[in-house]
Amino acid sequence: MITRTPLYRILPVVLFVALFFAVLGCKIEGVPSQQPSQKAVEAPKNALQLQKQVSSARTPVAPTPINFAKKKDPFRPFVLPTTVVSKAGTTSTIRSKKLSNLPIHSFDVSQFKVNGIITGLRENRALIVDPNGKAYVIKVGMTVGVNEGRVTRINPASIEITEQFSDDRGNKRKQVVKLYLPKIQEKIK
């Protein structure tokens, strides 16, 4: 019958043998000996033949100047104001009548219908519909209509739009247009 040796007796022997071979198997390389070898003496003679050490740092490159003359200015408006010189010699800038091609600017303000008004949030908003049936959500400060009337007030029952335009004589006029909700508009009539 074969008897087994317990593991606690075999383990120290195996570790000792492994450590012994590890210590004997290691050779120390790169440690200079006490006496200089002939290779070390010959090194200064061949120093000119060695390659220069390459640096990993990039050499600074002068930035190439960018010519912006042919580039578009992203901050320049699409429609520039035109300068007009009057008979008195004063110059004034006039904005072109049509600033945008948006559908909200292609109808008269009185042609829009108010479908809903939302109040109670940070700012009041209204839903208006153009004659083609397209709906827009507007708030105070937005422009609406051909004359680009500015929305000045949104009440729970109506919207006020102030239009500025020049009449036939060149005088600037202001016109306030009120648009009501359909139920309130029936009560007014």
pLDDT at 35 over 60: no
pLDDT at 80 over 70: no
What is the separation of C-alpha 101 from the centre of its chain, rounded to a whole number of angstroms?
Answer: 25
When pLDDT is cut at 50, 70 and 90, the band that residue 63 belongs to is confident
* pTM more than 0.95: no
> What is the Cα–Cα distance from 62 to 56, expressed in whole angstroms?
18
Q: State the average pLDDT for the chain.
A: 78
Q: Which domains does the chain have, with CATH numbers?
A: 103-188 (2.30.30.830)
Q: In this structure, how many other beta carbons lie within 10 angstroms of the beta carbon of residue 189?
A: 5
Pull the structure tokens for residue 68: 């912006």
> What is the Cα–Cα distance from 75 to 88, expressed in whole angstroms?
33
Q: In this structure, how many other beta carbons lie within 10 angstroms of the beta carbon of residue 104?
A: 17
Tally: H helices and E strands in the chain: 3, 9
What confidence score (pLDDT) does residue 21 get? 83
Range with the poorest average pLDDT among 1-15, 126-140, 141-155, 166-180:
1-15
For residues 57 and 161, the model is more confident at 161
